[in-house]
Amino acid sequence: MQVPGKALAELESLMGYHFRGQTLLQRALTHRSFAHEHESQAIAHNESLEFLGDAVLGFLVAARIFGRFPDRSEGELSKIRAYLVSAASLVQLAESIRLGEFLLIGRGEEKTGGRKKRAMLVDAFEAILGAIYLDGGIETAAGFLDRQIADLLNSLDLRQLTYGDFKSALQEQLHGMGRPEPLYQVVDEIGPDHRKVFVVEVRIGDRILARSSGRTKKEAQQAAARMALDGLRSPPTEEAPEAS
């Protein structure tokens, strides 16, 4: 079973990009639940394309915001990037092209509203970007993404993003990834009472996402949340990120 050609043409029109062949697009739209239900047909699903698309997305977004805001600090650019690649933003982009309507999903996912699930839409959007990259190259993928994120970039509230609530942003990001809410713990207090520095860890379950410090517990929590956001978009390391 495949997505009908008429539906593919409609999606391509919504995306503003036409594939040279249908194989990559069909794969990008195929969820693993569908492939598992039709295992005997050896149908390829979109997880590897999602992996590729995530990398392409991170590179292109970083390049775009650096070009647009060259004088911003690394921390500010990281915050802008985290917003643009967050689950909330990617779901918005997926919904703008009605991506959920075109997915091939298993019967169980269909019954539980899979076409509207945040994680499924995010994964499919990244898979689409990966497929476009393979089909047309990096410049073509960049053109597609530029069209998709134009409204998000133009409506950015830089002050709110760069000085906003990193704890809320981290919670939103983890929610979109299907992970539990983060927990914050003061693990050390350094210095005299009138100049005390608080050291805070942020974790999910037993995993420490980041550790940072501040002159108040709130400041330390926000700093740790910011580092955790950066870490979620970077390759994993054996030790938690730490800031002094």
Domain chopping of the chain, boundaries: 5-159, 179-232
State the pLDDT confidence band at 138, using cuts at 50, 70 and 90: very high
Amino acid (one-letter) located at 107: R
The residue with greater pLDDT, 25 or 4, is: 25
Active site (catalytic) residues = 54, 126
Based on C-alpha coordinates, what's the Rg of the chain? 20
CATH of 5-159 among 1.10.1520.10, 3.30.460.10, 3.40.50.720, 2.80.10.50: 1.10.1520.10
pLDDT exceeds 80 at position 145: yes
Distances (CA, A) of 48 to 15, 28, 175: 21, 9, 22
State the pLDDT confidence band at 59, using cuts at 50, 70 and 90: very high
The pTM (predicted TM-score) of the whole model is 0.67
pLDDT in tens, 82-102: 888 887 889 999 999 999 999
Fold type of domain 179-232:
Double Stranded RNA Binding Domain (3.30.160)
Domains 5-159 and 179-232 equal at CATH topology level: no
User: Coil, strand or helix: which one is 104?
Assistant: strand
Q: What pLDDT shows up at residue 239?
A: 44
Amino acid (one-letter) located at 159: R
Q: Mention every residue, 6+ apart, whose C-beta is less than 8 A from residue 181.
A: 171, 174, 175, 204
